[in-house]
Chains A and B, each alone.
Chain A
Amino acid sequence: MNTTSTDLAIDAQGLTKRFGDTQALAGIDLSARRGTVLGVLGPNGAGKTTAVRILATLLRPDSGTARIHGFDVQKQATQVRQNIGLTGQYASVDEDLTGMENLILIGQLLNLRTSAARTRANELLSWFDLTAAAGRPAKTYSGGMRRRLDLAASLVGRPSVIFLDEPTTGLDPSKREEMWDVVRSLVDDGSTVLLTTQYLDEAEALADDISVIDHGRVIASGTPDELKRVVGGQTLLVRPTDLDNVPQVTEILARIAGEQPASTRTGVLQVGVKDDAAMHTLVTELALARISVTELSLRLPSLDEVFFALTGKPTGSADITEGDAA
């Protein structure tokens, strides 16, 4: 076995799974170092949930191996289950039971005495701001409260590896931020998190490493920055203060980049450049020409663009990421 396997909290290799005619997973590798967040990014039907279900021992792969802290998900399922917490659209709490009853039940199933399970339930309910709702059936909870209860349920056993399958799908923006904070604090605490998402901004905000999957294959993986570089150039963006300077700036940009800049908004010019030095050159040229600017930036491509470049199709999540531009 390889020497790095002990550093990996999640280590999956060559997982395949077929459902009838659908090849849900066509041989994917996923790994996450201890104490990091692995973002698994992909559109609906890419195989994200299937991968999580296999890693969480809910489903057997047709081939391939997966280990959680070195424990094989098929041969050592019990040890794996002692180490994981699962929150997803599918792993759910019982709607008829109250928040408190749900958490106590899970504590009992994790071999806690009823009194200890109650203590743990109280801890989690207060941490997730659910104490006031503890005595109400889960079906009366709002969407955000349900997600928090689901997450609390997966943390009862103090798992070291936490699977979050689309934890913020359907939540409004402020609730998403709250969920993000929770994820960050889990990682601060030393847990490893595997997060699946359709939202590029979410992966970018939370993940140390991202695996982009599509049609059951990992089509790219790396840090968010590495992924962005995969698509190549960066973009130089300039907005001259005086609109009269636009033709001159256009000429300067064309000279630096070797291609004609585009104008997406009136008075804003942008052009793709290959290296960071372009920024230097531009600043110098602008200074020499005595042109003042109100906006000047060098930015990496967005993950939307990364995804488009990788799969040749849009992600369908543009409506979500638009919030950033507004």
Chain B
Amino acid sequence: MTTIIEKSGKPTATTPRSTSVAADQVRFPTLHHIFALTKRGLLKTMRTPEALIDVTIQPIIFLLLFTYLFGGAMMGSTADYLQFLLPGIYVQSILFSAVAIGVNLNQDVTKGVTDRFRSLPISRSAPLIGAVTSDVLRYLVLSASLLITGFIMGFRVETSIWAMFGAVALAIGFSLCLCWVSVFVGMLARSPGAVQGILFLAIFPLTFGSNVFVQTDTMPGWLQAFVKVNPATSLADATRGLLSGGPVASPLLYCLLWMAGLLAVFFPLAVRAYRRRV
């Protein structure tokens, strides 16, 4: 095998600072970095089938399965149940998808990608902002694929198109607050697997101990008590109100309070843990 040097002669390519690259420099470096890191996040999602499945096929499978499996038993008609279930599956998907950002950031740390970034003259928070931004885009994909599948199955928005966009905005806003829990755990846990384990331990009871799949008044009292304070319930209620009509103000207010609480507690914790580990 020929050596590398023989291939291309003198490696002028590496001559330090000999060439002026000023002409090729960008004007808003930090924005450019965030753009590049967001694109990286999306490329990674496209490359890893399970990451893409999380926001596309998995919610659709849940929707199809639950609608046609339980619809008749739950509400006597699959169409009625679909109308109830779709906002619930939306919430469930949002909660499940929050795991990804923590796992990805932890993977960056454990695999040494973070060290590479840190050896570069970029803002320390740029990789974090890039991860959050690409997460938002993932949630948009999730929202679109779930709603479109729902429409094909017969789901109808009974309010207005603006209310529907409001529901999507609320869901993404909620996930932007929730993602800091994931970032926090991602920065504390030893391995990506541990991040996933810890987060699902919290997310499972939140998802299933809510009115995402079943109406609250069918449950025993002690469970109702938990379900009623569960943020997943208020998000599901607010989303149902925005998509299918019904009360919005009260669940929305409750949901916004939860979001503010999550943000107030976990944003500082996450940023501190991030700065410590990254």
Q: Do A and B bind each other?
A: yes
Q: Encode contact with B along A183-201: 1 for CB under 8 Å, 0 otherwise.
A: 0011011110000000000
Task: Point out the residues of chain B lying under 8 angstroms from A110, CB to CB.
Answer: 120-121
Question: A57-B119, A86-B115, A137-B47 given as contacts; is B32 within 8 A of A108 (CB)?
Answer: yes
Q: Any chain B CB within 8 A of the CB of A133? A: no
Task: Point out the residues of chain B lying under 8 angstroms from A141, CB to CB.
Answer: none
Neighbour of B19 across the interface among A92, A158, A174, A188, CB < 8 A: A158
Q: Any chain A CB within 8 A of the CB of B122? A: yes
Q: Any chain B CB within 8 A of the CB of A129? A: yes
Instruction: Tell me if B19 and A129 are in contact (CB < 8 A).
Output: no
Neighbour of A127 across the interface among B4, B115, B120, CB < 8 A: B4
Which chain B residues numbered 60 to 116 have a C-beta less than 8 Å away from chain A? 108, 111-113, 115-116
Interface 9-residue window, one of A94-102, A213-221, A309-317: A94-102
**Which single residue of chain B is at the shortest CB-CB distance from A85?**
B119
Instruction: Tell me if B3 and A181 are in contact (CB < 8 A).
Output: yes
Neighbour of A181 across the interface among B5, B8, B43, B117, CB < 8 A: B5
Q: Any chain B CB within 8 A of the CB of A89? A: yes
**Which single residue of chain A is at the shortest CB-CB distance from B44?**
A96
Neighbour of B113 across the interface among A56, A93, A126, A129, CB < 8 A: A93
Q: How large is the interface on A (under 10, 10 to 19, 20 to 34, 35 or more residues)?
A: 35 or more
Task: Point out the residues of chain A lying under 8 angstroms from B118, CB to CB.
Answer: 57-58
Task: Give Cα A129–Cα B20 distance, bound, in whole angstroms.
Answer: 25
**B200 CB to nearest chain A CB (Å):** 22
**A161 CB to nearest chain B CB (Å):** 9
Which chain B residues numbered 112 to 146 have a C-beta less than 8 Å away from chain A? 112-113, 115-122, 126
Instruction: Tell me if B7 and A112 are in contact (CB < 8 A).
Output: no
Instruction: Tell me if B119 and A182 are in contact (CB < 8 A).
Output: no
Q: Any chain B CB within 8 A of the CB of A281? A: no
Instruction: Tell me if A158 and B14 are in contact (CB < 8 A).
Output: yes
Instruction: Tell me if A189 and B11 are in contact (CB < 8 A).
Output: yes
Question: A92-B113, A94-B113 given as contacts; is B5 within 8 A of A185 (CB)?
Answer: yes
Interface 9-residue window, one of B23-31, B164-172, B212-220: B23-31
Neighbour of B122 across the interface among A84, A109, A112, A120, CB < 8 A: A109
Neighbour of B3 across the interface among A85, A109, A137, A178, CB < 8 A: A178
**Which single residue of chain A is at the shortest CB-CB distance from B36?**
A108
**B49 CB to nearest chain A CB (Å):** 11
Q: Encode contact with A along B37-71: 1 for CB under 8 Å, 0 otherwise.
A: 10110011001100000000000000000000000
Instruction: Tell me if B13 and A96 are in contact (CB < 8 A).
Output: no
Task: Point out the residues of chain A lying under 8 angstroms from B44, CB to CB.
Answer: 94, 96-97
**B10 CB to nearest chain A CB (Å):** 8
Q: How large is the interface on B (under 10, 10 to 19, 20 to 34, 35 or more residues)?
A: 35 or more
Neighbour of A108 across the interface among B15, B19, B33, CB < 8 A: B33
Neighbour of A111 across the interface among B7, B25, B39, CB < 8 A: B25
Instruction: Tell me if A106 and B115 are in contact (CB < 8 A).
Output: no
Which chain A residues numbered 126 to 164 have a C-beta less than 8 Å away from chain B? 126-129, 137, 148, 153-155, 157-160
Question: A124-B13, A159-B16 given as contacts; is B112 within 8 A of A89 (CB)?
Answer: yes
Task: Point out the residues of chain B lying under 8 angstroms from A154, CB to CB.
Answer: 119
Q: Encode contact with B along A33-54: 1 for CB under 8 Å, 0 otherwise.
A: 0000000000000000000010
Instruction: Tell me if B36 and A105 are in contact (CB < 8 A).
Output: yes
Question: A126-B8, A129-B7 given as contacts; is B15 within 8 A of A189 (CB)?
Answer: yes
Task: Give Cα A129–Cα B24 distance, bound, in whole angstroms.
Answer: 25
Neighbour of A182 across the interface among B1, B4, B19, CB < 8 A: B4
**B28 CB to nearest chain A CB (Å):** 10
Instruction: Tell me if B36 and A109 are in contact (CB < 8 A).
Output: yes
Q: Any chain A CB within 8 A of the CB of B201? A: no
Instruction: Tell me if A112 and B119 are in contact (CB < 8 A).
Output: no
Instruction: Tell me if B113 and A113 are in contact (CB < 8 A).
Output: no
**B43 CB to nearest chain A CB (Å):** 6
Q: Interface on B for A, CB 8 Å cutoff?
A: 1, 3-5, 7-8, 10-19, 21, 24-26, 29, 32-33, 35-37, 39-40, 43-44, 47-48, 108, 111-113, 115-122, 126
Q: Which 9 A/B pairs are nearest by Cβ-Cβ distance?
A: A92-B112, A116-B24, A108-B36, A81-B121, A160-B16, A90-B112, A86-B119, A91-B115, A123-B13
